[in-house]
Amino acid sequence: MSALTFLDYASVLVFALTGALVASRAQLDLVGFAFIACLTAVGGGTLRDVMLDRNPIFWIADPTNIGVAVGAAALVFFTAHLVESRYRWLLWLDSFALAVAVPAGVAVALLMAQSPLVVVLMGMVTGCMGGLMRDVVVGQVPLVLKQGELYVSAAFAGAALAAGMDHLGFEQNLVLIGCAALTWTLRAGSLLFGWSLPVYRGRPPRV
């Protein structure tokens, strides 16, 4: 199994688990679980492949990805009631999913010999868009837009590190490991220690 295939499967699995957890909080039926899980699992990668004109799209080329997502949805449907704090689980699973999906996007862009800018953007798209779609569909404030939290910025930092390491000639597996490690460290630091970016504080509008 290639590194890219492993990253795709891992990203699909963990993002599908987060989608199913969101579905459990919204009290959806089993079909709703499967839909939200699949949307979350393949949304970012689908947008990446469409933007890069990559044919066929990764889950069409390998439908096993959809099977993995549906299986994850079924697992959560029958076990979510055993989890005491589903939101906490969601946050941490989502952090791992981000740390896998960003290097997956980077790997595809590098495989297609894209420019460093495109490498960074594809890492961010793959890591962030599935979760954004998930939260918008169920009517929640997207995790990627939580005030001040390191999420999109963590994806950007990880993808930028990968683009820099590739430019310097590092071996691809090291590039992807470095990307995953930095992405997860920043996201986990935001969850554990409150690491954040400054937010805009505008003055109240004049009457």
The answer to whether the peptide bond before residue 56 is cis (omega within 30 degrees of 0) is: yes
pLDDT in tens, 66-86: 999 999 999 999 999 888 688
The per-residue pLDDT for 201 is 76
50 in a structural domain: yes
The per-residue pLDDT for 119 is 98
93 in a structural domain: yes
The residue among 148, 108, 107, 158 whose CA lies nearest residue 128 is 158
Residue 54: pLDDT band with limits 50, 70, 90: very high
Residue 205 has pLDDT above 70, yes or no: no
Which residues fall within 8 angstroms of residue 49, CB to CB, at 6 or more apart? 55, 57, 58, 108
pLDDT in tens, 24-38: 999 999 999 999 999
Residue ranges making up the domain that contains 56 = 3-193
Distance of alpha carbon 69 from alpha carbon 72, whole angstroms? 5
124 in a structural domain: yes
Residue 199 has pLDDT above 90, yes or no: no
Spatial contact of 138 and 33, defined as CB atoms under 8 Å apart: no
Amino acid at 116: P
204 in a structural domain: no
> Quick one: average pLDDT of 179-197?
96
Q: Quick one: angle between helices 86-111 and 172-193, nearest 10? A: 150
CA dist list (Å): 79 to 13, 96, 204: 16, 20, 47
Q: How large a percentage of the chain has pLDDT more than 90?
A: 83
40 in a structural domain: yes
199 in a structural domain: no
For the chain, what is the domain count?
1
Report the chain's mean pLDDT, rounded to a whole number.
94
> Quick one: average pLDDT of 105-130?
97
Distance of alpha carbon 172 from alpha carbon 158, whole angstroms? 14
Amino acid at 110: L
184 in a structural domain: yes
201 in a structural domain: no
